[in-house]
């Protein structure tokens, strides 16, 4: 099997398993317990927090561990927006709006919509261009004194487009608005230094970079007030209640450190392989439409639309030939609706329904991709042959 669905998930790295194993076995203590076993677990947790903070270039106290990217996004969007209300000084406008790009992950979009539904906030969706990018001037046209938060993802999970985050942050900050970015897909491939990016909050998830599913982290600048989403025992400095997942935190920290150390070399290698793959696919299927930005995209992302055929049919034919990929976000699996990302980019619904996404894992080889391209050519021919009957 040739696995080309790395944006959905990947295997746990052996180094990560080895690092987390002691906290699943002998060092199984509760980090909130006031005895020796608890203290050792707490030491492991705080060491992991410091390691994540080192990669992000922030203070350990600005890192909150979560159950994954979805919870991190929920905590950022809801927590910061509501925190802005809590921290509002008398005489200033009530922060009752949030601005999000039209191509955000559902974890961000639905969090914003929950703020509207439950707290009376307004949601401003910032449009993207045909490549999936948000123009700084488009964001500047939306933000206003009442905006509590801007959230624009670092890199898109469906088409791989990378946003001009620094310029977008400048547009938000010019209006005095904090900026969150979902960096779940960017981790391991793009720089995550939060001070250089200028972001006020950033989300990451473990299972995209070699840690297990079920752990993530959120950076939030210490100056911001963050209202918790989960109430309980007050763990994570009162920002995220629940017994701490020490093994998961250690796993995430280890995976993030390894990914950052390998990032530059791995990204250059993968981008070269991806470009050759895209070129070969276009030779085999000239009708294919490459979606996303042509250059500002994740190194392992190659997404296409195949007009006049069913994307799901192409996927089935590919899997019969030993190639596994997807039609878009795994979080939207089972939906018959066309991708909201592609629609926001101006792609017609009937074309958007033909989408196929290839996302390359770090272990992929040129031979693998050569076979995958040939399999795609055969799959497309098979589907179009059936369509003509």
Cα–Cα dist 240/263, whole Å: 30
Q: Strand 301-305: give its sheet, edge to edge.
A: 289-291, 301-305, 355-359
**Geometric angle at alpha carbon 180, from 95 and 84, rounded to 5°:** 25
Look at the block and give the residue holding tokens 């639905």: 110
CA atoms within 13 A on the CB side of 363: 11
305 part of the active site: no
291-315 b/e (C-beta count within 10 Å ≥ 16 → b): bbbeeebbbbbbbbbbeebebebbb
Instruction: Please state, in angstroms and rounded to a whole number, the distance separating the CA atoms of residues 123 and 362.
Output: 37
User: CB of 212 within 8 A of CB of 181?
Assistant: no
The partner residues of 333 in beta bridges, in order of sequence, read none
In the set 58, 305, 325, 331, the catalytic residue is: 331
Please answer whether residues 134 and 128 qualify as being in contact, where contact means their C-beta atoms are separated by less than 8 angstroms. Answer: yes
| Cβ atoms within 10 Å, residue 92 | 12
Residue 69 burial (CB count, 10 A)? 28
- How far is residue 162's CA from residue 293's CA, in Å, rounded to a whole number? 8
Q: What is the DSSP letter of 163?
A: P
Q: How many residues would you count in the chain?
A: 389
Supply the residues annotated as catalytic.
Answer: 331
């Amino acid at each position: 099997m040739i696995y080309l669905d790395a944006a959905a998930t990947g295997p746990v790295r052996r180094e990560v398993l080895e690092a987390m194993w002691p906290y699943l076995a002998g060092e199984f203590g509760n980090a909130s317990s006031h005895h020796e076993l608890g203290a050792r677990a707490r030491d492991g947790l705080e060491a992991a927090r410091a390691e994540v903070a080192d990669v992000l270039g922030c203070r350990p106290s600005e890192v909150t561990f979560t159950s994954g990217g979805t919870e991190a996004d929920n905590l950022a969007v809801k927590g910061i927006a509501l925190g802005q209300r809590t921290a509002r000084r008398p005489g200033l406008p009530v922060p009752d709006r949030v601005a999000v790009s039209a191509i955000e992950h559902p974890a961000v979009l639905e969090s914003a919509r929950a703020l509207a539904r439950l707290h009376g906030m307004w949601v401003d969706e910032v449009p993207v261009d045909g490549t999936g990018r948000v123009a700084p001037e488009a964001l500047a046209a939306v933000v206003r004194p009442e905006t509590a938060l801007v959230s624009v993802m670092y890199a898109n999970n469906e088409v791989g487009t990378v946003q001009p985050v620094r310029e977008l942050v400048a547009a938000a900050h010019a209006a005095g608005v904090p900026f969150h970015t979902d960096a779940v897909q960017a981790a391991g491939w793009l720089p995550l230094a939060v001070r250089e990016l200028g972001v006020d909050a950033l989300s990451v998830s473990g299972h995209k970079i070699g840690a297990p599913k079920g752990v993530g982290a959120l950076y939030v600048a210490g100056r911001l007030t963050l209202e918790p989403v989960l109430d309980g025992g007050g763990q994570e400095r009162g920002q995220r209640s629940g017994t701490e997942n020490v093994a998961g935190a250690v796993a995430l920290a280890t995976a993030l450190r390894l990914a950052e150390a390998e990032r530059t070399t791995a990204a250059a290698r993968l981008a070269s392989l991806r470009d050759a793959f895209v070129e070969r696919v276009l030779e085999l299927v000239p009708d294919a439409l490459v979606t996303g930005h042509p250059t500002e995209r994740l190194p392992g992302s190659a997404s296409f639309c195949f007009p006049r055929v069913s994307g799901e049919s192409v996927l089935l034919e590919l899997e019969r030939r030993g190639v596994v990929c997807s039609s878009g976000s795994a979080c939207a699996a089972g939906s018959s609706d066309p991708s909201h990302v592609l629609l926001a980019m101006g792609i017609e619904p009937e074309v958007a329904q033909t989408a196929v996404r290839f996302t390359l894992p770090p272990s992929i080889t040129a031979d693998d991709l050569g076979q995958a391209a040939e399999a795609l050519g055969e799959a497309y021919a098979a589907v179009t042959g059936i369509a003509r009957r």
